[in-house]
Amino acid sequence: MSNALSSLGFCKLGLMSESWVCRLQEEVPVLVTNWSGRQGFYSTMNEDDSAFKQKVQARLSAMMEDWLTEHFPTHRLLLVSLVVKFPQGDQIVGLHRDWAYVDETKCNSLNFWIPLEDVDEQRGCIHIVRGSHRSASPFRGTPFVSMPKHLEENIMQGAEALPMTKGEVLVYDSRLLHFSNPCSGKNPRIAVAGVIIPSEAQPIHYSFNEGQCVTYDASGDFFSTITPEKTIAAPILSTENDIAKVSYYYDRVNHEYMQHYGEHIQAFRPTEDALLFNHMVESMKLSEGLQVVDAGCGVGGSMRALAERVKAHFKGFTLSTVQVEEGRLKNQKHSAKECLEIDYGDYHHLAQLVARQSVDRVLFIESLGHSTQLHRAVQSAEAILKPGGILYIKDFFPFYRKDEDLRRQQEEVIERINQYYAYNVIDFEHLMQCLRKEGLRILTIQAFPFEDDITKRFAFEEALDIDLFEGKPEFRVAEWLEIVVQKPINPMY
């Protein structure tokens, strides 16, 4: 079971007894109010009545107790509900991952799903995407961010339907992509759905609002008290989670980036992309056969452009699951697809993603500024570089302004950049200290030999109603630099 859950993200785990199924079949129409008048997809979790949800939770929890003790003695039940597809109405449950119910950087939660009748593709069985739990962001909560339609359709083509017999138990990782189609027939299709977590784990719920990630304590009756579209009233565990903020930001606005920037998500660029990438190949000292990690790769546009010029092997990491899927789709259609990989990953932990001292180049292409832990990010890159390997950084750094009024205006603009772009504009001196502390040798620090074409950035900001200068004339806040440093072959260089 554990191997299947780890590798595939799901497994089937036996049958509930015939008497168990029959009891529920009899009780459900009584438990659910207005049973005969309902249409489409229904979940008891979505009811407004907390007392009703607690009643359903208590009854189903008692019925799941023996199963949980037998199969998952080190776990506890967090929530359980009824999910019903009534005839007529909107029955579709689209492609999605469930919420994160625990801190998934420490442990994982599991979902279970038990139909009270035989189900197949005509009777609303679940479809799953094998292995999709391995590329999920651990920061999933409210509001829900859906996949763009073209990505959803592409992923669903590779999904697998899971026909099940009455009372059969499906257990799957909460991170697994899944969906279910409309249900034919005149009778409602009923299933029991729930979540279990490790006994000692802290249950949580993430909520994103105005660029902030709030982590709520989801203990006790939390899931019986929250309702869609209403303010959450629960103890707050944290309001500081910069990694979650960046992850949610790109999931939410990647479509706009693609629309206005194209697949090369770089703000500083000349009019001709070829000029930029030809220059970068020289600055990075790229050559055939090198192992390259693109740390914060977006949808992989930059590494695909570089792969067209040099046949190196590129592995990109992003915090956005939308960008992972978009990037993989584009990689599949690319002429250099055998040299390109994209996965979910936090560049503060690169040594957990690739082997130490195995990489020739690490690239931070307008991505390092998303970090609020600069030294940790540099340390992470240094750990995977081979001796002699190169770290390449492209980003912008504030000018030093002597005039106090101009410096104040500059700071206000930088604050808005950080707010609108989930960024943390880098202090140049601090970065130099971080690089020095890791023993990295500075090869070059230079401005780019071409002018910035701001057309794409301007269109993007106009579309998202971003006004960094609040209607005032723009002025140069920072300069774009590329910084190239090397890990010494001899630490005593």
How much is the pLDDT for 37? 82
Residue with tokens 């799941």: 64
One domain, residues 177 and 37 = yes
Which pLDDT belongs to residue 56?
A: 92
- At residue 461, the pLDDT reads 94
Domain membership flag for residue 270: yes
Do residues 348 and 319 touch, judged by C-beta distance below 8 A? Answer: no
Assess if residue 408 is contained within a domain.
Answer: yes
Q: Is there a domain that residue 209 lies in?
A: no
Nearest Cα neighbor of 293 from 309, 273, 315, 274 is: 315
* In the block, residue with structure tokens 């279970």: 112
Q: Which of 181, 201, 221 is the last residue of a domain?
A: 201
Tell me what pLDDT residue 403 has. 85
Percent of the chain predicted with pLDDT > 70: 99
Q: How many CA atoms lie within 13 A of 38 on its CB side?
A: 20
Same domain, 268 and 156: no
Rounded Cα gap, residues 34 and 36, in angstroms: 6
H-only helix segments in 342-492: 374-384, 404-421, 428-437, 455-463
pLDDT (0 to 100) of residue 226? 85
Q: Are 444 and 340 in the same domain?
A: yes
Residue 223 lies inside a defined structural domain of this protein: no
Residues of the chain with pLDDT under 50: none
Residue holding tokens 């303010």? 231
Q: Is residue 243 part of a domain?
A: no
Domain final residue pick, 201, 218, 239: 201
Closest CA to 128 of 5, 251, 254, 42: 5
256 and 195 housed in the same domain? no
CB 378 within 8 A of CB 295: no
| CA-closest candidate to residue 438, choices 385, 365, 480 | 385
User: DSSP states of 438-454 as a string?
Assistant: TTPEEEEEEE-SS----
Whether 89 is covered by a domain: the verdict is yes
Whole-number pLDDT of residue 227: 78
Give the domain-ending residue among 201, 232, 265.
201
- For residues 85 and 170, membership in a common domain is answered with yes
Per-residue pLDDT, 211? 75
**CA atoms within 13 Å, Cβ hemisphere of 351:** 13
Count CB atoms within 10 A of the CB of residue 346: 22
C-alpha to C-alpha distance for 445 and 368, rounded to whole angstroms: 16
Q: Is residue 244 in some structural domain?
A: no
Q: Are residues 191 and 296 in the same domain?
A: no
> What is the CB neighbour count within 10 angstroms for residue 36?
7
Q: Are residues 175 and 322 in the same domain?
A: no
CATH of the domain at 330: 3.40.50.150
pLDDT per position as a tens digit, 434-473: 999 999 999 999 999 999 999 999 999 999 999 999 988 8
Could you list the residue range(s) of the whole structural domain that residue 288 is in? 252-486
Tokens 């409210």 found at: 142
On whether both 192 and 309 belong to a single domain, the answer is no
Q: What is the model's pLDDT at position 246?
A: 95
What's the confidence (pLDDT) of residue 1?
67
User: pLDDT value at position 492?
Assistant: 64
Instruction: Give per-residue pLDDT as tens, 155-178.
Output: 999 999 999 999 999 999 999 999
Q: Which amino acid, residue 216?
A: Y
Look up tokens 């180049």; give the residue: 361
Q: How many domains does the chain have?
A: 2
Residue 86 counted as domain residue: yes
Strand partners, 198: 75
> 171 and 287 share a domain?
no
CATH number at residue 116: 2.60.120.620
Looking at the fold, whether 402 and 473 belong to one and the same domain comes out as yes
